[in-house]
Amino acid sequence: MAGRLEGKAAVVTAAGQGIGRAIAENFVREGARVWATDVDEAKLADIGAAESRRLDVLSDEAVAALAAEAGRVDILVNAAGYVHHGTVLETTNRDWDFSFDLNVKSMHRTIGAFLPGMLEAGSGSVINISSGASSIRAAANRYVYGATKAAVIGLTKAVALDFIRRGIRCNAICPGTVQSPSLDGRIEALSAASGQSPDAVRQMFVDRQPMGRLGTAAEIAALATYLASDESRFTTGQAMLVDGGWTL
């Protein structure tokens, strides 16, 4: 099924690598005009037919400027996020504030900027990246991360309900552990902190997956494409797990 997003315009945050990039590339293949954004514009250099823009989702002004340039879009994907490692005892106020700003308030900014255009058109799909480690299930040493991703689910449901009669759909994707450059960085950091080899730390992540493997960014992008398309027009307010059975 090609051309599932033909004629649609989409904005994707954190499109430079990992899940965000896989989503942006999939959207392009399916015919959408994609505004691929990232705080590191160099990561967008070879993303193909997408419109590449630097975007700091922590900046009200930057988000507003992109919304003014892009105009009305049909799809908004909020993929920007940060994984803090630690319990409440290892989480400073600065860690808490930064995590909520990047993982939650950034979505408040982007939805607030792009929703008016969707409402004017009478249709739109907002897709927020949450996590299985949220209100769905706790994960060890993910204190503030889990709190932010639980908030994303609450935010998603609120937007879905408030605009359900006005053509707006809002859903959250809740991945399990997915192979990505971000995961590679966390593995290296945990290896350095624990004294274990990177291979041993990676195996720890694999061993906790019921399927015995990590997820892929392409598997998350496949669900995002469905939620962006008209195929999912009867689906809203859902926290959809793609976690290899981790939350069973």
Q: Which of 82, 143, 145, 226 is catalytic?
A: 145
Q: At what angle do helices 106-121 and 60-70 cross, to 10 degrees?
A: 20
pLDDT at 212: 94
Does residue 226 have an active-site annotation? no
Fold of 9-177+216-242: Rossmann fold (3.40.50)
Q: Which residues of 82-101 are buried (b: 16+ CB within 10 A; e: fewer)?
A: bbbbeeeeebeeebbeebbb
pTM of the predicted protein model: 0.95
pLDDT at 1: 58
The CA–CA distances, whole Å, from 56 to 61, 72, 139, 185, 194 equal 9, 20, 28, 21, 32
pLDDT at 182: 85
pLDDT tens string, the chain, 248 residues long: the values are 579 999 999 999 999 999 999 999 999 999 999 999 999 999 998 888 899 999 999 999 999 999 999 999 999 999 999 999 999 999 999 999 999 999 999 999 999 999 999 999 999 999 999 999 999 999 999 999 999 999 999 999 999 999 999 999 999 999 999 998 888 988 998 889 889 999 999 998 899 899 999 999 999 999 999 999 999 999 999 999 999 999 99
CA pair distance 90, 191, nearest whole angstrom? 17
In the chain, how long is the greatest CA-to-CA distance?
A: 55
**Where along the chain do its domains lie?**
9-177+216-242, 179-214
Task: Give me the torsion for CA of 72, 230, 36, 73, rounded to 10°.
Answer: 0
Query: What's the chain's length in residues?
Result: 248
CA pair distance 138, 240, nearest whole angstrom? 16
Rg (C-alpha) for the chain, rounded Å, is: 17
pLDDT at 45: 87
Sequence letter at residue 102: L
Place of tokens 């507003």: 64
